Amino acid sequence: MIGTVVTALLLLAIGTRAGDRLIVRQQELVLAKLPVAEASAYYDLLRRRVRRVRVLRAIVLVSLFCLLYAYRHQKRSFTA
């Protein structure tokens, strides 16, 4: 059970990293083409998006750990 979860998290992390690299590269190309004032405004928007994504990912990880804890606790209460 735990091995499956760790494998799934590892695959998710690798896929997320690859996707993030692609998105960052695309955004860098867009920023390079914009004038400085517009690039600055767009960069601020991107920073807010990144912050929101990080918060949402943290919430997902905490939720996953809570679910695993509840699952393990439930199994122990039935066997005791």
Q: Check whether 80 has a pLDDT greater than 70.
A: no
Cα 3 to Cα 7: distance, rounded to the nearest angstrom: 6
Q: Which percentage of the chain shows pLDDT scores above 70? A: 92
pTM of the predicted structure, to 2 decimals = 0.63
Structural domain for 56, as ranges: 2-79
Quick one: residue 35, left, alpha or beta (phi over 0 = left, psi -120 to 50 = alpha)?
beta
The total of structural domains in the chain comes to 1
Q: Check whether 35 has a pLDDT greater than 90.
A: yes
Q: Check whether 11 has a pLDDT greater than 90.
A: no
